[in-house]
Amino acid sequence: MTQADLVVVANRLPVDRVVGEGGELSWRRSPGGLVTALEPVMRRADGAWVGWPGQPDIDVEPFEFEGTFLVPVRLSAEDVELYYEGMSNDTFWPLYHDVISEPRYRRVWWDSYVKVNRRFAEAAAKAAAPGATVWVQDYQLQLVPQMLREARPDLTIGYFHHIPFPAYGLYSQLPWRRQVLEGLLGADVIGFQRVADAGNFARAVRRQLRYDTKASGITVPNPDGTTRRALAKAFPISIDAQSYVELAERDDVKARAKEIRESLGNPRKILLGVDRLDYTKGIRHRMKAFGELLEDGRISVEDVTLVQVASPSRERVEAYMQLRDEIELMVGRINGDHDTMGHTAIRYLHQAYPREEMVALFMAADVMLVTALRDGMNLVAKEYVAARVDNRGVLVLSEFAGAADELPSAIRINPHDIDGMKDAILRAIDMPAAEQGRRMRALRKKVLENDVARWSRAFLDALADARRYTQYIAPR
């Protein structure tokens, strides 16, 4: 098998399997941001990508796709249920998002998580050339760095954590808290979204493992009694900003934005929410605030409409089924109380849309509501800003989203404070054009300068430094 000098390991491969009309199988690049971010790097490095093809119980041989060597990892239906839906999405996800929903700790899920992480580590070990760099992505694969290091001490290993890392008081609930820290510390560089996440991780390492931590460096003992240094640091992820600018400048997309406004009855202001339907995103809090503003008579449906795109997500996990019911009950009630024949309070869309449509929505929206209760970064906030080539529009942004660290010119809110959020929404609705322009220009500068190419470069540079450092103190 071909071996690569750069290997990305992620739960999903960067492609989706599509079945044509005649039943023929092919692959299509998936629309995700990580894929776009890494594509140029992978192409240049002749890279390989290890991941699950997205459907259970299919065997697919490694294959070449648009300049990247793809290595499929097989998951059975049971693996998907225990490792992915169970341990990843019903234990780690709620625990790492400050137990907004109660995490479930099930030993059979953990056993499956260990087994599947080993399978990914083995596939990565096979795909990596001698002395290669391996970059592991996200919370589904936290044990892979250590497993890889044991199998292949010649590799330089990076790990990026896309979601928050919680405070120690919460993290310590995890029955397997030591194993997970040791798993992550197999990496030379452990990247987080926010400085606070890296701090929480370092604190957990100190409290649980008693290792020394200084600034971003952690001293990790080797099995032979020597030590090595791991770096735990913030690398805030971003978007391919230029591609949003290009879409926003297209005539058909501009025309579509206008059409959207018209089809909503040309309200004075359009508010927009775009989220995966997830309890971390604060969709209920947002709707409560909006519903109360209507109830109080501070806004009316002729004046203001809220468009909420809630794309379907994790539909087999109980907490998500329940959330969907709650949200849909709420939308029904608010609309029932306030709609008129010509105007709706909330246009709720439980659907996924192509990127062009999302950009048209961003351009049509006067106010973007990002009200997450906890969010690693929140790329939607950055996408909205990138799409506003007209320097108009207002971003209302939760301080609990990682993006808040980089975007101080947004209107900052605490989504738990419903009265505060109501005032912020009104302020955004009434913001004079000049102030919108000032704020939006500052936001755009940040997002356009710090795009996702810069993010991957910064991370890979840190890994290259780690490699030099390791080779200096311990030639291998």
> What is the binding site for ligand GDG (CB under 6 A)?
31, 33, 162-163, 237, 274, 276, 309, 311, 352-355, 358, 375-380, 383
Sign of CA dihedral 259, 263, 264, 265: positive
Nearer to ligand GDG, 177 or 276 (CB): 276
DSSP string, 230-295: EEEEE------HHHHHHHHT-HHHHHHHHHHHHHTT--SEEEEEEEES-GGG-HHHHHHHHHHHHH
Nearest distance from residue 358's CB to ligand GDG, in Å?
5
Q: How far is the CB of 452 from ligand GDG (least distance, A)?
A: 9
Task: Please state, in angstroms and as integers, the Cα–Cα distance from residue 325 to each residue in 77, 159, 289, 315, 318, following that order.
Answer: 26, 36, 19, 12, 11
- Shortest distance (Å) from residue 445 CB to ligand GDG: 20
Q: How far is the CB of 434 from ligand GDG (least distance, A)?
A: 29
Give me the amino acid identity at 474. A
Residue closer to ligand GDG by CB (options 28, 268) is 28
Tell me which residue of 422, 424, 370 sits closest to 399, measured CA to CA.
370
As a whole number of Å, the end-to-end CA separation of the chain is 24
Which bin fits 20, alpha (ψ -120 to 50), beta or left (φ > 0)? Answer: beta
330 or 380: whose CB is closer to ligand GDG?
380
Q: Which is nearer to ligand GDG, 8 or 309 (CB)?
A: 309
Answer for the pair 153, 222: CB distance below 8 angstroms, yes or no: no
Secondary structure class of 384 (helix, strand, coil):
helix
C-beta closer to ligand GDG: residue 123 or 368:
368
Distance CA 146, CA 7 (A): 16
Q: How far is the CB of 67 from ligand GDG (least distance, A)?
A: 23
**Least distance in angstroms from the C-beta of 266 to ligand GDG:** 24
Closest contact distance (angstroms) between CB of 197 and ligand GDG is 11
Residue number, 375 or 406, with CB nearest to ligand GDG: 375
Nearer to ligand GDG, 301 or 317 (CB): 317
Q: Which residues of 226-240 are buried (b: 16+ CB within 10 A; e: fewer)?
A: eebbbbbbbbbbbbb
